[in-house]
A = this chain, B = another copy of it.
Amino acid sequence: MTDVMTPTTAAANDDGHTVDVAALGELLLGNWADVRRTARALAGDPELHKVEGLSHTEHRQRAFKQLGILVQKEAVHRAFPSRLGGSDDHGGNVAGFEELVIADPSVQIKAGVQWGLFGSAVMHLGSTEHQDKWLPGIMSLDIPGCFAMTEIGHGSDVASIATTATYDPASEEFVINTPFRAAWKEFIGNAAVDGLAAVVFAQLITRGVNHGVHAFYVELRDPATKEFRPGIDGLDDNIKGGLNGIDNGRLCFTNVRIPRTNLLNRYGDVTADGTYSSPIASPGRRFFTMLGTLVQGRVSLNGAAVAASKVALKIAIQYATERRQFNAASDTEEVVLMDYQRHQRRLLPLLATTYAASFAHEQLLVKFDGVFSGAHDSDEDRQDLETLAAALKSMTTWHALDTLQECREACGGAGFMVENRFTSLRADLDIYATFEGDNTVLLQLVAKRLLADYSKEFRNLDFGVLARFVVGQAADITLNKTGLRQVAQFVADSGSAQKSAKVLKDEETQHELLAGRVQSMVAEVAAALKEAAKLPKDKGAEIFNAHQDELIEAARAHAELLQWEAFTEALHRVDDAGTKRVLTRLRDLFGLGLIEKHLDWYLMNGRISMQRARTLGPYINRLLAKLRPHALDLVDAFGYGPEHLRATIATGIERERQDEARDYYRKKRASSDGPVDEKVLIQKAKASAKK
């Protein structure tokens, strides 16, 4: 406990527990602690920091230079093959990557485009020859490149992209073509200025058959002149709501011819005479295997969103323990913001969620590393990874936006100044909610998995959004790892035992309530959809659409459960008693906060009695008051230094100013030369009139 509180609050809530900040910090750093430390040291380098107020063209130039620094510092090659100078370290690569967000989200995302998407596509979809040919230039940034998948007309529905790659056996070339305006590649990073090449996703057509979406390596610009090569056209996406260090743009191909061997052919190849072959017979599974490499982006966005939330909360909570406003409890002493119940209500639940998201992210990263290292890469593992990444990425990126906004407002006008980071980070992270998988679409992917786990009949469900994501799933394997867990029994709250919310602090009870809700929601939707699967497509789709909202809410409930479980699992690894006590309260705040958020559901399904429900809010308020003395320790454990925070209001300057002001008034009161307050005179006059 390092901050000063008003005496009454401190006395009431000092519980004698202390948090071992250093040990908690280690726990948060997780399995790739050393990589994170190295990456944070790098992210603290002013050369990599965002400079506010640059024009978008200046910002782009700076970001490009910063990518060069990352190459030089060997910060971005961990995932690449060791034979090419990488270290085959997938988990570490992402861990290091996500820390870059605190230097400048544009650097993180532009690096993500270059190495995480463009480079990864060559690595994962190409052959050894492709890797040897292009990866060195990609790794060294000699070939800045694009990942040209999304089109104006199709973002979430990748299978429907319209760019064609038609094989011409006469010249042994593929002809890349954009058939209409909606098929222009859109929002493509590096496309407007820097990209010399691109991995272009297109429908592979040979011998009159469309074999679906495949990836092709296409040279875009002449390295010498930086002019587009013949047949290629582009447009600059110009200024965006954020991430203006990245030169997004549009690309159009007019019968651009590329060698047959530029097809990244790991999952599908065409011989010189135009014969197509693939190691994966099912076009659906083939598509999803190729897209599987995208999961890395979701994993790293999840981690970056956690990092941004941590930075925001450290700044806002630091300020809230120094800033004073209004003298509630005494005539002279103003109250520190963090002592106001509402301020605790605004910030501490976000802190609890950030802890949950951080621990859940670590689990995701371990899963990701297992799959990508090949240690655990069964179909089931891959599907678990997809589901987990989809669930967590949507929760965490939204959470980061909520956190940045609440922190900004909690700091008032100071929060709006760009020097205090919130608005800038929020603008940059805004798009995290809809790129690399639109959150709303991702939750439907999770929902599909929940239905499939719930009952076999939903395994081949074929309506709209869901259809696109599940065709490739094996229909007969057992899915139960990160999918639906059959846990909770329906237990109505009889209200006969203890009637307060206190019983909800029991870990098992929290789990039962959260897990039971997921199961029950899924069962309810499943019952409603049972008929839909058997009906003609249009009728089925109608019923399906009538339950879309419920489905998404079920997926959200599931994601919340995963976060709660990850938090609880981490809690069990804490030894220090004080830390464990405080962290348990924080976990309880997270769990009870979820139950409070969905209290209507618990009530209308009889899981929590009216009496108990009424005590939940007050119980949470008491929990907040108990956590308040540890708030600063809990954000200090995130381990970010001034070089990462870079926020004027987190430097201690507010306390200095407040102390100076309080000192001034204290001296005025002690001396007799200060003016008397008119109100005081009036009170005195009234008093003497009464005598």
Contacts and interface: CB of A to CB of B under 8 A. Distances in A.
Interface of A: 8-9, 12, 52-53, 55-56, 150, 152-157, 160, 162, 166, 179-183, 186-187, 203, 205, 208-212, 237-242, 282-284, 325-331, 334-335, 339-342, 345-346, 401, 405, 408-409, 412-413, 415-419, 422-424, 426-427, 430-431, 433-435, 438-440, 463-465, 467-468, 537-538, 541-542, 544-550, 552, 596, 599-600, 603-606, 610, 613-614, 617, 621, 625, 656-658, 660-661, 664, 675-679, 681-682
Assembly of this chain: how many copies?
2
Most buried by B among A419, A427, A468: A427
A661 B53 contact: no
User: Which of A156, A342, A468 has its CB near the most chain B CB atoms (within 10 A)?
Assistant: A342
Which of A422, A467, A656, A675 has the largest count of B CB atoms less than 10 A from its CB?
A675
Contacts of A625: 546
Given A210-B678, A237-B417, A434-B413, A341 B155 contact: no
B604 A541 contact: no
A606 B603 CA distance: 11
Nearest to A341: B548
Contacts of A434: 409, 412-413, 415-416
A232 to B, nearest CB: 20
Contacts of A547: 341
A541 B334 CA distance: 12
A254 to B, nearest CB: 15
Given A241-B416, A599-B604, 18 more contacts: A12-B542, A153-B661, A156-B325, A156-B326, A156-B412, A180-B657, A181-B657, A209-B676, A239-B419, A242-B423, A283-B679, A345-B549, A409-B433, A423-B430, A546-B621, A599-B600, A603-B603, A604-B613
A602 B535 CA distance: 38
Contacts of A330: 537-538
Contacts of A465: 326, 328
A55 B463 CA distance: 48
27 contacts: A12-B542, A150-B413, A152-B657, A162-B661, A181-B656, A209-B681, A210-B675, A211-B678, A238-B417, A238-B418, A238-B419, A241-B408, A241-B416, A241-B417, A241-B418, A282-B682, A284-B679, A326-B467, A328-B545, A339-B545, A341-B546, A342-B552, A345-B549, A408-B430, A546-B625, A599-B603, A603-B604
A657 B53 contact: no
A221 B519 CA distance: 69
A344 to B, nearest CB: 9
A414 to B, nearest CB: 8
Nearest to A524: B614
